[in-house]
Amino acid sequence: MNFIFRWLRNILIFFFASTIIAVVFYRFVPVYITPLMMIRCVQQMADGDYPTLKHEWVPLERISKHAPHAVLASEDQLFLEHNGFDFKQIHQARLDALNGKRERGASTISQQTAKNVFLWPAHNWIRKGLEAYFTFLIEKIWGKQRIMEVYLNSIEMGKGIYGIEAVAQENFGTSAKKLTKQQSALIAASLPNPLKRDSVHPTARLQRRSQQIMREMSRTPQFPMPE
């Protein structure tokens, strides 16, 4: 029993130490690759395609102010206020599911960032538990500006496209710094399913959603950009 206890204790010590070190590391170092990027490359090869990965890290000061504003309005309007979790939205999503309504996500930008950087795409309690743990860590160690910076640089934005700079170049022929309000809203509108929602060739439905996001932007506080 003592051996098992020591073994479990050492595993827990290693887990907490390694994860905290990883979070502190990414507080200062750009995130150049994520588990999802690697998984998508493997999936592309399994489908017989050549793996493509378009990604270029840019600091927050080289991103248009419209981009974080658009994702706030679209994905997480309480991002600047909550501690990583929007319990009201989580409760509402659960009620909607129980009432047979269309399943919808309730993940905050912080939760999505934790999942993108440290975990894998899956729907199980182990993954969700780890997501909550990493969300707590990045909220405490990174802060809101760093979370937004990593989110905009790591999120999937199209087939083989990751991050705001890559999607700006590939879909709009510009840089992340020069994205307009309309372009940023189109990108934000595509984020729930960027593999099916093409921001460069938007459907009428996607256009309507981007217009709705722009209206929400007028009611949502601007994200505080670095000086």
Whether 175 shows a pLDDT value over 60: the answer reads: yes
Which residues fall within 8 angstroms of residue 7, CB to CB, at 6 or more apart? none
CA distances in angstroms from 73 to 53, 66, 207, 220, listed in the order given: 28, 10, 15, 6
pTM equals 0.91
Asked, for residue 223, whether it belongs to a domain, the answer is: no
Strand-pairing partners, residue 54, are 161
pLDDT bin (cut points 50, 70, 90) of residue 186 is very high
Asked, for residue 222, whether it belongs to a domain, the answer is: no
Asked, for residue 224, whether it belongs to a domain, the answer is: no
Q: Measured in whole angstroms, how far is the alpha carbon of residue 29 from the centre of its chain? A: 17
CA distances in angstroms from 152 to 91, 149, 191, listed in the order given: 26, 5, 11
Which three-class secondary structure state does DSSP give residue 54? strand
Asked, for residue 211, whether it belongs to a domain, the answer is: yes
Range in 92-96, 172-176, 195-199 the model is least confident about: 92-96
CATH number reported for the structural domain that contains residue 123 in this entry:
1.10.3810.10
3-class secondary structure per residue, 28-40: HCCCCCCHHHHHH
Whether 103 shows a pLDDT value over 90: the answer reads: no
The pLDDT, as a whole number, for residue 42 is 93
Asked, for residue 186, whether it belongs to a domain, the answer is: yes
Look up residue 198 and give its two tokens. 């093409």
The pLDDT, as a whole number, for residue 104 is 43
Number of domains in the chain: 1
Strand-pairing partners, residue 156, are 162
CA distances in angstroms from 24 to 30, 57, 68, 174, 193, listed in the order given: 12, 18, 23, 32, 30
pLDDT bin (cut points 50, 70, 90) of residue 96 is low
Asked, for residue 225, whether it belongs to a domain, the answer is: no
The pLDDT, as a whole number, for residue 65 is 97
What does 77-110 look like in DSSP terms, one character per residue?
TTTTTSSS--HHHHHHHHHHHHTTPPP-----HH
Strand-pairing partners, residue 150, are none
Q: What average pLDDT does this structure show over 164-168? A: 97
Please state at what angle helix 66-75 crosses helix 144-154, rounded to 10 degrees: 90
Q: What average pLDDT does this structure show over 67-82? A: 95
Host domain of residue 6: 2-217
Q: What average pLDDT does this structure show over 128-134? A: 95
Q: Measured in whole angstroms, how far is the alpha carbon of residue 78 from the centre of its chain? A: 15
Whether 21 shows a pLDDT value over 80: the answer reads: yes
* pLDDT greater at residue 85 or residue 100: 85
The pLDDT, as a whole number, for residue 3 is 75
Whether 225 shows a pLDDT value over 70: the answer reads: yes
The long-range contacts involving 17-26, CB below 8 angstroms and separated by at least 24 positions, are 19/118, 19/133, 19/134, 19/137, 20/137, 20/141, 22/118, 23/118, 23/134, 23/137, 23/138, 23/141, 23/142, 24/141, 26/117, 26/142, 26/150
Asked, for residue 95, whether it belongs to a domain, the answer is: yes
Whether 97 shows a pLDDT value over 60: the answer reads: no
Q: What average pLDDT does this structure show over 36-52? A: 92
The C-alpha R_g of the chain, in whole angstroms, comes to: 18
Q: What average pLDDT does this structure show over 182-210? A: 93
Give me the phi and psi of 47, to 5 degrees please. Answer: -85, 0
The pLDDT, as a whole number, for residue 92 is 57
Q: How far apart are CA 78 and CA 83, in angstroms?
A: 10
